[in-house]
């Protein structure tokens, strides 16, 4: 995990991580220290309910380069976490977004109205606090897009998996598109076409770690340092350099999350 080829010459800003995950328990502090020494200049670690949101805030307190997002993930709407709790956590000075929030019809699709309700309430909360949102959309492209068009929030659609047409609509709304390790997978069919059309100023890179490690680490525990492989692939698709992609996306992340 700490091999020499993970040393990065350019800044990496990982806009979507889950460092509260218990897969990091034995290595978290060492790992965060090493990747920060090797080019990772910023991380947004996301909550999925009250417990993980609090853990995200604690990490943000402990590490200057870590920022937190707090929210109720569509898979956690039965966790007992309330919108009021999220509101309270969101006032923390290192909370930079409401997330991850959204719709997931892949795992459960018999609670769509409840998912939509929790999603919309958190968008309203984000707008009230003038924070961006971090959107999770899995197998729910139609409803997600409709809700984004209705509320017009600031934010990012993370681990984008929709069509080129959907990407065009998201871009029209001025929202960012998060691209992760999936872009390096051979079965990422639509994603290269999406990656080609994202305007420079709306492109973000992310891991969703510990999940979705890019090739050549596919299937292993992912971490933010591996973003260089994702950026390399994006650069190849867009006909530019890894350096340009990493500099650009770090700048974009700071813009979206209002980090100086
Ligand atoms: Zn996530």
Q: What was the pLDDT predicted at 251?
A: 98
Q: What was the pLDDT predicted at 4?
A: 52
Instruction: Give dist(CA 226, CA 158) in Å, integer.
Output: 17
Q: Is the pLDDT at 110 greater than 80, yes or no?
A: yes
Q: What was the pLDDT predicted at 9?
A: 72
101 Cα to the center of ligand 1, angstroms = 9
134 Cα to the center of ligand 1, angstroms = 9
Does residue 210 have a cis bond before it (omega within 30 degrees)? yes
97 Cα to the center of ligand 1, angstroms = 13
Q: What was the pLDDT predicted at 108?
A: 82
Of 17-26, 104-113, 157-166, the poorest mean pLDDT is in 104-113
Instruction: Give dist(CA 132, CA 137) in Å, integer.
Output: 16
Q: Identify whether the C-beta of residue 96 lies closer than 8 Å to the C-beta of residue 257.
A: yes
Higher pLDDT, 257 or 260: 257
Instruction: Give dist(CA 249, CA 255) in Å, integer.
Output: 10
242 Cα to the center of ligand 1, angstroms = 24
Phi, psi of 98 (to 5 degrees): -100, 115
Q: Is the pLDDT at 205 greater than 70, yes or no?
A: yes
Phi, psi of 188 (to 5 degrees): -80, 85
* Residues 33-50, mean pLDDT to the nearest whole number: 96
Q: Is the pLDDT at 203 greater than 70, yes or no?
A: yes
Q: Is the pLDDT at 38 greater than 60, yes or no?
A: yes
Among 147, 145, 230, residue whose Cα is nearest residue 192: 230
16 Cα to the center of ligand 1, angstroms = 6
Instruction: Give dist(CA 101, CA 95) in Å, integer.
Output: 15
Q: Identify whether the C-beta of residue 259 lies closer than 8 Å to the C-beta of residue 67.
A: yes
The pTM is what?
0.96
What tens digit of pLDDT does each residue of 221-249 get?
Answer: 999 999 999 999 999 999 999 999 999 99
Boundaries of every domain in the chain: 4-256
Q: What was the pLDDT predicted at 143?
A: 98
7 Cα to the center of ligand 1, angstroms = 24
Q: Locate 84 and state its tokens.
A: 């009021």
Q: Is the pLDDT at 3 greater than 70, yes or no?
A: no
253 Cα to the center of ligand 1, angstroms = 16
Determine what percent of the chain is predicted with pLDDT higher than 90. Answer: 93
Q: What was the pLDDT predicted at 188?
A: 83
Among 193, 197, 158, 196, residue whose Cα is nearest residue 175: 158
Query: Which residues neighbour 5 within 8 Å (Cβ) at sequence distance 6 or greater?
Result: none
Q: Is the pLDDT at 113 greater than 70, yes or no?
A: yes
Residues with CB in 5 Å of ion ligand 1: 100, 208
* Beta bridge pairs of residue 176: 156
* Beta bridge pairs of residue 155: 133
Higher pLDDT, 2 or 167: 167
What tens digit of pLDDT does each residue of 8-30 get?
Answer: 778 999 999 999 999 999 999 99
CATH 2.30.110.10, domain 4-256, yes or no: no
Q: What was the pLDDT predicted at 107?
A: 85
């Amino acid at each position: 995990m700490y091999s020499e080829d993970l040393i990065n010459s350019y800044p990496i800003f990982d806009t979507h991580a889950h460092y509260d995950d218990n897969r990091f328990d034995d290595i978290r502090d060492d790992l965060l220290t090493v990747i920060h020494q090797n080019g990772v200049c910023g991380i947004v670690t996301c909550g999925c309910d009250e417990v993980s949101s609090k853990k995200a805030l604690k990490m943000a307190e402990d590490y200057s380069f870590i920022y937190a997002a707090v929210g109720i993930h569509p898979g956690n709407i039965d966790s007992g976490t309330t919108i009021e709790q999220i509101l309270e956590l969101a006032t923390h000075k290192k909370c930079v977004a409401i997330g991850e929030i959204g719709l997931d019809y892949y795992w459960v699709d018999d609670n769509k109205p409840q998912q939509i309700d929790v999603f919309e309430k958190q968008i309203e909360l984000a707008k009230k606090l003038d924070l961006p949102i971090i959107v999770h959309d899995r197998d729910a492209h139609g409803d997600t897009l409709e809700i984004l068009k209705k509320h017009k929030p600031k934010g990012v659609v993370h681990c984008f998996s929709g069509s080129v047409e959907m990407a065009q609509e998201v871009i029209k709304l001025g929202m960012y598109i998060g691209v992760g390790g999936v872009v390096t997978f051979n079965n990422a069919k639509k994603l290269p076409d999406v990656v080609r059309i994202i305007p420079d100023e709306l492109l973000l890179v992310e891991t969703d770690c510990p999940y979705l490690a890019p090739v050549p680490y596919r299937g292993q525990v992912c971490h933010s340092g591996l973003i260089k492989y994702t950026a390399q692939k994006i650069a190849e698709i867009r006909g530019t350099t890894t350096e340009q992609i990493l500099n650009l996306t770090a700048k974009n992340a700071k813009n979206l999350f209002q980090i100086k």
